[in-house]
Structure 1
Amino acid sequence: METAHGGNELPQQLNPNNLQICIEGINLILSRWTALQMAVQNEWGGRLSRQKSENLASDILNFFAQSKGPLYIDVLEDLLFVNTGEYLNMVVEDGSIEEVAEELMILHDELLHDTFNFIEKLRKSKSASDSVAKSRAVATNMDETDGESSGDEASDMTVDEPSSRLAPKSEIMRVDEQQLQQQPETVEVEDGWTVVPSRRNQGKRR
């Protein structure tokens, strides 16, 4: 396979000296993937969501380190799709899986050539996990404030549609009886109340 580096054939495996750098780069790329960080912060995959995301990083490293032939980006995309869907309950349809796979391949290709431009760029980039955590904290504070101020008004309120942990209170819309009848899935509970299940927003573009 011809490359832009003097026509030399691309080495198939990473230099052992670059293996630790590859691990660092994988973790940096995953930390910038907003959809993944939302799944971890909100425990979409259960209490072990963080560990599952770490397992994903290990699977990616194995994909790079153990292969003895050419690597194909569509195989990596499938790995990301299966892992995030099966273990973290993510349904990613915003193109971010393809973006993450491309960044991972760029990282790997550069390290094969002992070049480090991309890893340096990643080191200077901002992690998505911090911004997701801050958004979650803001939403939690708003929930607590609203709960303290509206306790006396609960008996006069129509049932609210539940929101995700990250949804601002301003986006929560009260529904009347006509709207409840239009919802596809409602659950009847005692005393005639109707609860509308939430539709959790899945991963967004990074």
Structure 2
Amino acid sequence: MAASNAGAGGGPISAEASATLGEGIGLVFGRWTALQIVVENQCGGRDSRAKADQLTASILSWFCNSKGPHYFEDLVDMMDAEISESFNADFEDNSIEEVAEQLLTMHEECLQSAYSSIEKLRNSHVQGNAVSQSRQIAGDNDNSDSSDDDDDVSMMDDEAVAAPEEMAGDRPRPSRPAPDANGWTVVPPRRGRGNN
């Protein structure tokens, strides 16, 4: 695991580097699918977007105002705690660790007034938003307007529902029995499905 020791001996980060680092953090967070999903689904309430912005500000403040070395584990723990508290979410996909490593690299570069990784983020064009693509896929399979479920869960449910329908379409369907005078329908026994 990476650890940054640049904050220990170097001076404070310049205003230009601080502004550029803040932009870089915003770019990384904007492409962080797990974070964007909890924001889009308002896991932090109606002010989820503001909470994401506050997370960005907290991380920038940690880099710019705290003294001493900036350790990977400290950054991961801080981000994990803030996400858990603000969005009632636990990211178990190792994305917090990946983002923390990227942020530490950007911070190191900013201390040296080198902004290559942030320039790459600025110049790279993300093909659509991962969250809207997931939502579109889920929307193609599910016509409900419910956004209470996680996109991954709803897509899995849609796939599980689609498979039996496809299998049922491969064999002829028996006609449905008509309800009797009392509204009851007699269901015939299933034949050929036991262990004969």
Q: Give the 3 Å change call, closer, same or farther, for CA 103–170 of structure 1 in structure 2.
A: same
Task: Give the secondary structure class of the aligned counterpart of 2:51.
Answer: helix
How high is the TM-score relative to the length of structure 2? 0.68
- 1:137 corresponds to which residue? 136
Deviations 1:83-132 (A, max 9, x none): 11111122112211111111111001100001111111222345597121
Deviations 1:4-35 (A, max 9, x none): xxxxx852421112221111100011112111
Using the alignment, how far apart are the partners of 1:59 and 1:14 within structure 2? Answer: 16
Using the alignment, how far apart are the partners of 1:127 and 1:98 within structure 2? Answer: 21
Q: Give the 3 Å change call, closer, same or farther, for CA 43–95 of structure 1 in structure 2.
A: same
Q: Is the 8 A contact 1:13 1:67 kept in 2?
A: no
- 1:171 corresponds to which residue? 160
> Which residues in structure 2 correspond to 1:34-49 (within 5 Å)?
34-49=33-48
- 1:111 corresponds to which residue? 110
Identity %: 36
Using the alignment, how far apart are the partners of 1:106 and 1:97 within structure 2? Answer: 14
- 1:64 corresponds to which residue? 63
Using the alignment, how far apart are the partners of 1:40 and 1:125 within structure 2? Answer: 23
How high is the TM-score relative to the length of structure 1? 0.65
Q: Is the 8 A contact 1:33 1:128 kept in 2?
A: no
- Runs (5+) with no aligned partner, structure 1: 4-8, 148-161, 175-206
Shift of 1:165: 4.1
Q: Give the 3 Å change call, closer, same or farther, for CA 47–171 of structure 1 in structure 2.
A: farther
- 1:16 corresponds to which residue? 15
Quick check: 1:27 aligned with 2:26?
yes
The size of the alignment, in residue pairs, is 152
For 1:78, give the aligned amino acid.
Answer: D
Quick check: 1:76 aligned with 2:86?
no
